[in-house]
């Protein structure tokens, strides 16, 4: 049967299999783009994209002017835990920054009914609304709009929102983030969204809608994150549990410096 996966995805699979073998150890220098092109008969663009994905996954680390090095060996059956954009960006060897576009305290009655339903609250509750533009090495990647149940985070205005909110939730407020429930869909970017993400209006983007839970059952936030079209890949693994299938995954992005 002909493999209909994109060439770079087929190459990703080949390189992961190579990484999982005995040829390379953690800390070793990995294949160069030129070597990959020659060995697998692919273009330099395809080789670059595959390497960038492996860097984003944390398997390789890119050192400017030197090459890529083995940072972690693939593990069969390993599920990605919940991690922040800040953490994933740093693991990819890039510098994460956030531009705060909006930070306000509002009443739930002023929010779309869908958000209130997701958060399981009534109109009398207070919420923090935070809109941020998330960047990697200065390149805009994600436009984030998040609603947080205010009673769990008193004094949030006193904290900088330019880093990881996960860290603030866990380290400052002692909240135990246990899971997220996410949906992904393709959308068309409007002028405002496209301008912030640095792409042309009318292009397709990926919208991830998510509820974040503490202590398994309690909603803490509801957010929509809009990902630019050339910086998004969703990976998931299926793990049977109690005769059901549970999907877990994370958002990955290409390294803009690894072009």
Q: Does this chain's domain 7-70 share its CATH topology with 85-252? A: no
Please state the domain extents for the chain.
7-70, 85-252
Instruction: Say how many residues make up the chain.
Output: 259
Residue of 129, 148, 147, 253 lying closest to 197 (CA atoms): 253
Fold (CATH) for 7-70: Arc Repressor Mutant, subunit A (1.10.10)
Q: Note the pLDDT tens digit of each residue in 157-180.
A: 999 998 889 889 999 999 998 888
CB neighbours of residue 31 within 10 Å: 21
Per-residue model confidence as pLDDT tens digits over 85-141: 887 778 777 889 999 999 999 999 999 888 889 999 999 999 999 999 999 888 899
Tell me the pTM.
0.61
Cβ neighbours for 245, distance < 8 A, ≥ 6 positions apart: 238, 239
Q: What is the pLDDT of residue 2?
A: 45
Determine the Cα–Cα distance for residues 191 and 81; give it in Å rounded to an integer. Answer: 34
pLDDT digits (tens, 9 = 90+) for 38-58: 999 999 988 888 888 788 777
pLDDT for residue 154: 94
Burial class (CB in 10 A: 0-12, 13-18, 19+), 47: buried
Which top CATH class is 85-252? alpha beta
Q: What tokens does 156 get?
A: 């949030």
Q: How many other β-carbons are positioned within 10 Å of the β-carbon of residue 212?
A: 24
DSSP 171-230: IIS---EEEEEEEEEEEE--HHHHHHHTS-TT-EEEEEEEEEEETTTEEEEEEEEEEPTT
Longest dimension (CA), the chain: 64
Which backbone phi and psi does 126 adopt, to 5 degrees? -95, 145
Residue 192 reports pLDDT greater than 60: yes
- DSSP helix/strand/coil, 234: strand
Q: Are 87 and 150 in contact (CB under 8 A)?
A: no
Output the average pLDDT for the chain. 82
């Amino acid at each position: 049967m002909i493999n209909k996966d994109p060439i770079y995805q087929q190459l990703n699979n080949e390189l992961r299999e190579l990484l999982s073998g005995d040829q390379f150890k953690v800390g070793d220098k990995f294949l160069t783009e030129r070597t990959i092109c020659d060995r697998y008969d692919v273009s330099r663009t395809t080789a670059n994209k595959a390497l960038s994905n492996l860097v984003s996954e944390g398997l390789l680390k890119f050192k400017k002017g030197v090459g890529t090095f083995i940072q972690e060996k693939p593990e069969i059956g390993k599920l990605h835990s919940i991690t922040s954009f800040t953490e994933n960006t740093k693991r990819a060897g890039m510098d994460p920054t956030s531009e705060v576009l909006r930070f306000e305290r509002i009443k739930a009655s002023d929010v779309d009914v869908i958000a209130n339903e997701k958060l399981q609250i009534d109109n009398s509750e207070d919420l923090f609304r935070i809109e941020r533009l998330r960047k990697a090495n200065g390149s805009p990647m994600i436009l984030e709009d998040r609603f947080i149940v205010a009673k769990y985070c008193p004094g949030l205005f006193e904290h900088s929102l330019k880093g990881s909110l996960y860290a603030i939730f866990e380290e400052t407020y002692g909240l135990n983030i246990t899971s997220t429930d996410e949906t992904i869909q393709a959308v068309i970017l409007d002028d405002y969204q496209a301008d912030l993400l640095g792409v042309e209006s009318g292009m397709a983007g990926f919208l991830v809608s998510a509820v974040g839970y503490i202590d398994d059952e309690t909603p803490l936030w509801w957010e929509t994150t809009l990902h630019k079209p050339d910086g998004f890949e969703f990976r998931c693994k299926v793990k049977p549990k109690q005769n059901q299938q549970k999907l877990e995954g994370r958002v990955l992005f290409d390294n803009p410096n690894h072009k």
